[in-house]
């Protein structure tokens, strides 16, 4: 496979609790952008926190905006892959989404919903975002940080 070409440019990615697209204006509202999550958990007698990771239930969405760099009358297909990585650089989860920017589409916003995250410890986690254009390899385009604070008692 080949390294990614320059048909698509990553403009931005944001983590929020939700996002809404106004149907009339096509404007996007990001609701409660997230930089940090504090999670309190009480373990029962004899229970321990699994150091391999526990799933923390938390609904959120990563919204990514991409811009087409080729002429507007041409189409381009691609895939966005997101890896969730813990402070020790272990991959805790991954998901991907295919997309197509058809003729006359200059920009696209991709919203990736998340229902829970597998975490191992407090610290700085990252959503590593990769872009793959048609017939190319995935290329890392962004690292979105998330500070996790776990209070286990």
Each residue's pLDDT, cut to its tens digit, for the chain (153 residues) gives 445 558 999 999 999 998 888 788 778 888 899 999 998 877 666 666 777 778 888 899 999 999 999 888 899 999 999 999 999 999 999 999 999 999 989 999 999 999 988 898 899 999 999 999 988 899 999 999 999 998 877
- The residue whose two tokens read 């197509």 is 100
pTM of the model: 0.87
Exposed/middle/buried for residue 71 (C-beta within 10 Å: 0-12, 13-18, 19+): exposed
Residues 6+ apart with CB under 8 A from 120: 51, 52, 53, 54, 86, 87, 88, 90, 92
Q: What is the CA radius of gyration of the chain?
A: 18
| d(C-alpha 3, C-alpha 18), whole Å | 33
- The residue whose two tokens read 């990736």 is 112
Q: Are 60 and 34 in contact (CB under 8 A)?
A: yes
């Amino acid at each position: 496979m080949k390294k990614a070409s320059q048909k698509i440019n990553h403009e931005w990615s944001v983590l929020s609790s939700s996002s809404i697209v106004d149907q009339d204006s096509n404007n996007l509202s990001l609701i409660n952008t997230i930089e940090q999550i504090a999670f309190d958990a009480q373990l029962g007698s004899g229970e321990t926190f699994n150091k391999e990771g526990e799933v923390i239930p938390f609904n959120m969405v990563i919204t990514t905006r991409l811009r087409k760099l080729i002429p507007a009358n041409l189409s381009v297909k691609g895939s966005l892959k997101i890896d969730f990585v813990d402070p020790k650089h272990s991959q805790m989860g991954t998901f991907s989404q295919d997309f197509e920017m058809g003729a006359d589409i200059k920009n696209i916003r991709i919203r990736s919903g998340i229902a829970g995250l597998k975490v191992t410890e407090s610290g700085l986690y990252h959503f590593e975002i990769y872009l793959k254009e048609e017939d190319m390899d995935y290329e890392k385009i962004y690292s979105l940080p998330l500070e996790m604070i776990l209070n286990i008692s």
